[in-house]
Structure 1
Amino acid sequence: MEAGIIDATIFILGLVLLIKGSDIFVEAASRIARSFGVSEFLIALVLASIATTLPEVTVSAISSYKGNSGIALGNAVGSALANIGIILAISAMIMPLKVDKIASENSLIMLGATTYAWLLMMDGEISRIEGISLIIIYLLFLTYLYKRHITLEELEGEGNGSIGREVAILFLSGGMVIVGAELVVDSAVKIARALGVPEVIIGVTLVSIGTSLPELANSLTATLKKIPNISVGNIIGANILDILMVIGIAAMIRPIHVDPSIMKTVMPMTLAVMLVLTISLFRNNKVGRKTAVVLLGIYSYFLYLIIQGKVYIPG
C-alpha cells in the first residue's frame, strides 16, 4: 500500500514536470525564433529536437559501448515510428497542423536519410564506416540549414544576450521534460504491474512509447498553443537525429547486428508513415485529420503485430 502511494506521488510529480517543462520549452522555442527572425519550424527542427533527443544519443552510445548496440537501433527506429504514427497523428487529430513550406523539404530529407539507413541494414549489419557516414550526413544537414536559412547578419543583432538566455531555458526545460517523462513511465510501469496488467501490454504501451514521451508532451503543448511549426518541426528534427546520430554513434562505437524484424517490418512501416507525412506536406503544407487517421492506422497495425509476437524490437 505504501509503495503504491509512493509510485502515485512520483507519477504526479513527473506529470507536473512534463507539463510545466513542455510549456516553458515551447514558449522558449517560439521566442528564439522571433529573436533570430526565422521560422519556428527551423528552431524546433534543430534546437528543440537536440534538446529532447540528446539523452537518447547518450544512452545509445553507452549501450553500444557495453555491447548492446541492438538496443540503440531498436530505440531509434521505434521512436521514429512512434513520433509520427502516434504523436504527430494525435496532434493533427486535435487540430490540423498548417506549417511553413520548408517542412516539406525537411520531411523529404528525413525520408531519404531513413531510406539510406535501411539500405545499410540489408546485409544484416551496420558497420563503423557506415555509422560514420550517417553522422557525416547529419553534419552536412546542419550545414545546409545554416547556409540556406541563417545569415551572419541575423546572428549579430543586439539580442544575442537574450538569445543565449532563451537557448539555456530551452535546454533546461527540455531536461525537465525528460526527467518528468522518466518518472511518469517508471512509476506507471510499477502501478500497472501492481494492478496485474499483462507484461506485453505494458511493453507495447508504456515502455515502447516512453522514449517518445518528451516529443509527445512538447508537440501536444505546441498544438494546444496553436504553434504547429514547433509541433511538426520537433518531430521531424527528432527523427532525423534518431536515424542519423543515434544509430550512427552507436554503430561507430560498435558495429550493429540488425534483427531481421527491424529490417523487414519496422523499417518499412517507419518509411510508410514518413512517406504519408511527406506527401501530405508537399500537397498543402498541412497534416490534416485524414492523414492523422492513416498514420494511426499504420501504427495500430504495428502494435497488433507486436502483441501477436510477429515483431520484436531490441530494448
Structure 2
Amino acid sequence: MVKTVILFVVGLVLICLGGDRLVDAAVAIAKKLGIPQIVVGATVVSLGTTLPEILVSTTAAFDGSAAIAAGNAFGSIICNTALIAGLTQTIRPSKQVELSALSWRSAFYFIVIILLTACGFITGAFGRPVGIVLLILFIVYACINVVRAPAESSAGEEDKDTADGISIPLQLVILIVCAVFLFVGANLLVDNGILIAEAVGVPQRVIAVTFIALGTSLPELMTSVMSLIKGYGNVGLGNVIGANLLNMLLVIGIPSAIAGIPLERSTVVVDMPLSCLVMAVLLVPILVRKKASRLQGITLLGIYGIYCVASFL
C-alpha cells in the first residue's frame, strides 16, 4: 500500500508539472501564429490531454473489458464537462468567446453524440462499422480544422504583437514532453486508483465512469485549472470541447474498429444521454449570450455530484 501511495503522488506531480508548462506552450503558439486560444485548446492541447483515454480504451478493447472501454469514454466526457468545465465556469465564467471557432465544433459534437446514442439504443453495441465511421469522421474533423485555420487565425491576430522571440519548434517540443508527463502521470494515478477500488469491491462500470474517467481526465483538469490561474480561460474551454470530440471519435472509434464494443444498458440509458445534456448546458448559453455564467458552472457541478452518487448506489 505504501508503494501505491508513492506512485500516486509521483503521478500527481507529473500531471501538475505537465499541465503547467503545457498551457504556457500552447498560449505561446497561439500568440505566435495569431490563433485564438480556444482553437489551440480544441486542437493541440486536447489531443495531448486525451492520450490517456485513448490508451486505456484501446487496451481495454484488446483485453475484452467492454465496460471499461465504453464507460471510460462517456465517463470522461461527463467528467470533462460537468466537473472540469463546471468548476472553471463557476470560478471564472468565460468571456469574449470566439463564436466562429466554437459554433461548428459544437454542431459537430452534437451530431456525433446523437448518432451514437441512437445507435446504442437500437443495436446495443458499437460494431466495427461504427468504429470505421468514427475514424472517418475524425479525418473529416481534422480536415475542417485545417481548412478553417486561416479564418480562425485572423481572429487572433491581435496577439501577434506580443509574440516576438517565441520559437515554434521549441514550444512544440515542450508540448510533446508535457503530454508525455500527463500521459505517464495519469496512468500512474489510474492504475493505483483501480487497485484501491477493486480492493473494496467496486463494480467494473463504476470504476470506469468514476475512477478511470476522473483519472484519465486529470490532464484536462490540470490544463483547465492552470489556464484559469494564468488568465487564459478560453484555452481550458477549448480543451474540454476538443477532448470530448476526441473521446467519441478516437477513444470509442479505435476500440470499436478493432473488436467492437457491446454496451451495458446503464451506458446507453444514462451515460450517453447525460453526455449530450451536460454539453448542452455548457455550450447553448454561450452560443446564445456569447459568454458563460456561474449558474452554468454550479448546475454542471450539481449534475456531476448526483451522477457520481447514483453510479455508486
User: What amino acid does structure 2 have at the position aligned with 1:103?
Assistant: L
Aligned length: 299
1:219–1:187: structure 2 CA closer, same or farther, 3 Å change rule?
Answer: same
1:299 equivalent to 2:304? Answer yes
1:145 equivalent to 2:145? Answer yes
Q: Displacement of 1:287 after TM fit?
A: 2.8
Identity score, percent: 33
Q: Is the 8 A contact 2:125 2:262 kept in 1?
A: yes
Alpha-carbon separation, structure 2, partners of 1:236 and 1:89: 13
Q: Displacement of 1:16 after TM fit?
A: 2.3
1:100 equivalent to 2:105? Answer no
1:40 equivalent to 2:45? Answer no
SS in 1 for 2:308: helix
Corresponding residue of 2:110: 111
Q: Is the 8 A contact 2:41 2:238 kept in 1?
A: yes
Structure 2 runs not aligned, ≥5 long: 155-163
- The one of 47, 53, 56 equivalent to 1:59 is 56
Alpha-carbon separation, structure 2, partners of 1:66 and 1:298: 32
Corresponding residue of 1:126: 126
Q: Is the 8 A contact 1:69 1:254 kept in 2?
A: no
User: What amino acid does structure 1 have at the position aligned with 2:86?
Assistant: A
1:50–1:302: structure 2 CA closer, same or farther, 3 Å change rule?
Answer: same
- The one of 258, 273, 277 equivalent to 2:278 is 273
- Identify which range, 214-223 or 9-18, moves more after superposition: 9-18
Alpha-carbon separation, structure 2, partners of 1:282 and 1:212: 25
1:249 equivalent to 2:254? Answer yes
Q: Is the 8 A contact 1:104 1:281 kept in 2?
A: no
Corresponding residue of 1:26: 23
Aligned-residue Cα RMSD (Å) equals: 2.8
Alpha-carbon separation, structure 2, partners of 1:250 and 1:185: 19
Provide the TM-score with structure 2 as the length reference: 0.85
User: What amino acid does structure 2 have at the position aligned with 1:112?
Assistant: I
Alpha-carbon separation, structure 1, partners of 2:140 and 2:191: 37
Q: Displacement of 1:40 after TM fit?
A: 1.5
CA-to-aligned-CA distance 1:247-282 (integer Å, 9 cap, x gap): 111111112111111111111111110111121221
Q: Is the 8 A contact 2:220 2:240 kept in 1?
A: yes
Alpha-carbon separation, structure 1, partners of 2:270 and 2:196: 31
Q: Displacement of 1:187 after TM fit?
A: 5.0
Q: Is the 8 A contact 2:73 2:213 kept in 1?
A: no
Q: Is the 8 A contact 2:19 2:222 kept in 1?
A: yes
SS in 2 for 1:97: coil
1:191–1:304: structure 2 CA closer, same or farther, 3 Å change rule?
Answer: closer
Alpha-carbon separation, structure 2, partners of 1:206 and 1:136: 30
User: What amino acid does structure 2 have at the position aligned with 1:81?
Assistant: I
Provide the TM-score with structure 1 as the length reference: 0.85
SS in 1 for 2:307: helix
Q: Is the 8 A contact 1:107 1:277 kept in 2?
A: no
Q: Displacement of 1:290 after TM fit?
A: 0.3
- The one of 275, 286, 295 equivalent to 1:290 is 295
Q: Is the 8 A contact 2:90 2:296 kept in 1?
A: no
1:31–1:256: structure 2 CA closer, same or farther, 3 Å change rule?
Answer: same
- The one of 148, 166, 175 equivalent to 1:170 is 175
- Identify which range, 23-32 or 8-17, moves more after superposition: 8-17
Q: Displacement of 1:28 after TM fit?
A: 0.5
User: What amino acid does structure 2 have at the position aligned with 1:121?
Assistant: G
Alpha-carbon separation, structure 1, partners of 2:140 and 2:86: 29
SS in 2 for 1:216: helix
Structure 1 runs not aligned, ≥5 long: 309-315
Alpha-carbon separation, structure 1, partners of 2:196 and 2:130: 41
